Structure 1
């Protein structure tokens, strides 16, 4: 359910009541300073062959930002000039959410979701491009869908290659995070493939969504957004992580608690002006893993903005945001 809306400004007294204490704020790093177009939601970032970084996001017809150095970002329009016709089956406005960009087989692949707020009548689609730039994408249609009555929600896709296979994690509420194998030639779900279960919470409405999986050493790490997004300074989003030696799980946190039983180490939470970090993805920059996410700026009426932090890895193989 990663769809954004800006909250109205709160009074100064009400806002201060929502912010963590100084001691709590010190536990989490601030995002890197950036300039230019900061507004974004559910960012996915990748370095293109032309040397630029592109960030696609929820908003517009998959909104695009470009940067040469990860510091200054410019508005680059949208991935598509207009919504493909089939999107309207899943919402009245053809509004896409939470994209994921990757590169393989000489092409860029852009996965995205279309749905309506509060329903799992949802679908994940895919488009391809030779350059990865906005305006160059060709839509390839539906990858996987969910329907009312099923206990998963086909939104928030994230792609990973592992063990010679192509996998897509996804999910939002409706019992949490799932995974399915894709056909590497078409980029679409293999008919009849097992829908693996990776993470959930013991309490309805199972508020975990927006997965991103990366490999580091011998482990796969599952990052996910917990609690509520999309409410400006009232958002309670935070990012948790678990790991597994198998891409399909089981994933556990550093105490050994399974993510299927509500486990997950807290990686990043709101602090100071940086409220509700989530909608995360991970990309590489100069040999380092970088965490990209949005936060709601408490000093700018809860506007969603781009956060970037380096992921540092402990000797025990657990990530921390730096």
Structure 2
């Protein structure tokens, strides 16, 4: 009897120390409600000068979605009618991954990656468009590439301007997140440019990827996806962030732990039906910052769908609503 009571008491104590599903769920906000074509992977979103929004993503020949109000999204085909011929150097199907859209110098710029699963024989390319809409893109070829002898993987590009220069973050596994300076005229990597190291994990396979940097106040904020993508309801993707006063780092979390030593402030993780939140990007809309990402819908057989949440800023760190 005493052993039974003791065992019961120990079990109760252990359960009390464990986070419940309910308490974990309320930690993170659900994505904003949307309708229409919700299926997406690795979204990049921009508000167009012509009005409305376009989102590009992994899948198809860079799949496109359009919206007038950020709520109803409609399928808009693909950025390109067919893969540019050089893509086939990196996979047999000419399959592009993880695009990034931006606007500068009167044009829209679309960066993307071509690779194949499990290799860092990869390349990042760029295209431009006067309108940002699918079917109007002109491809300009390779921006930067990596080979099996490199310690980085040239996928998951994201571009920003900082300190009068143009930069591109990239990286997936292979010791993590990197950065290289671009030529503003061509949008391609400067010859001989240094490859900066921004974030990694302490152990192989160094599961961090999908970087995106934004500036807010005195800091640059590096968002990245940690852990495992692309496994439906078994995905463990989550979004972490670090900050730095310099665009090239070092980036640290709120405890001061460097992202180069496995640090990272947890911003969003799976909760409830919203599994494996990641593949993120940030876009500006009417003076507000928004986080776009995908999640795997546990109530729809793990289908990847678009998540949108407004970014808030408090005490120098981002939050979500």
- Structure 1 residue 286: deviation in Å? 1.9
Residues 124-273 of structure 1: pairs in structure 2 closer than 5 A: 124-273=124-273
The C-alpha deviation readout for 1:139-173, integer Å capped at 9, x for no partner, is 00000000002110000000000000000000000
C-alpha contact 1:58 1:97 (8 A) present in aligned 2: yes
Counterpart position of 2:317: 318
Counterpart position of 2:8: none
Gaps of 5+ in 1: 1-18
- Structure 1 residue 20: deviation in Å? 7.1
Cα 1:290–1:20, aligned 2, differ >3 Å: closer, same or farther?
A: farther
C-alpha contact 1:44 1:281 (8 A) present in aligned 2: yes
SS at match of 2:233: helix
Distance 1:140 1:35 in 2: 34
Counterpart position of 2:111: 111
The count of residues paired between Structure 1 and Structure 2 equals 303
C-alpha contact 1:223 1:241 (8 A) present in aligned 2: yes
- Structure 1 residue 49: deviation in Å? 1.1
Distance 2:107 2:70 in 1: 23
Distance 2:32 2:101 in 1: 22
Distance 1:73 1:228 in 2: 27
- TM-score when scaled to structure 2? 0.94
Residues 297-308 of structure 1: pairs in structure 2 closer than 5 A: 297-308=297-308
Gaps of 5+ in 2: 1-18
**Structure with the greater relative contact order (CA < 8 A, sep ≥ 6): 1 or 2?**
1
SS at match of 2:188: coil
Distance 1:285 1:318 in 2: 19
- Structure 1 residue 111: deviation in Å? 0.1
- Structure 1 residue 321: deviation in Å? 1.3
Distance 1:153 1:281 in 2: 19
- Structure 1 residue 186: deviation in Å? 0.1
Counterpart position of 2:38: 38
- Structure 1 residue 270: deviation in Å? 0.2
Distance 1:82 1:218 in 2: 43
Distance 1:69 1:284 in 2: 14
Counterpart position of 2:81: 81
SS at match of 1:109: strand
Residues 41-80 of structure 1: pairs in structure 2 closer than 5 A: 41-80=41-80
C-alpha contact 1:20 1:270 (8 A) present in aligned 2: no
Distance 1:38 1:273 in 2: 15
Distance 1:170 1:297 in 2: 27
Distance 2:197 2:150 in 1: 13
Distance 1:20 1:302 in 2: 22
- Structure 1 residue 285: deviation in Å? 1.5
Distance 1:278 1:171 in 2: 14
Cα 1:20–1:206, aligned 2, differ >3 Å: closer, same or farther?
A: farther
- Structure 1 residue 52: deviation in Å? 1.4
Cα 1:110–1:20, aligned 2, differ >3 Å: closer, same or farther?
A: farther
C-alpha contact 1:28 1:269 (8 A) present in aligned 2: yes
Counterpart position of 2:90: 90
Output the aligned Cα RMSD.
0.9
The C-alpha deviation readout for 1:7-62, integer Å capped at 9, x for no partner, is xxxxxxxxxxxx97111011000000000000000000001111010000000000
Counterpart position of 1:277: 277
Distance 1:126 1:260 in 2: 28
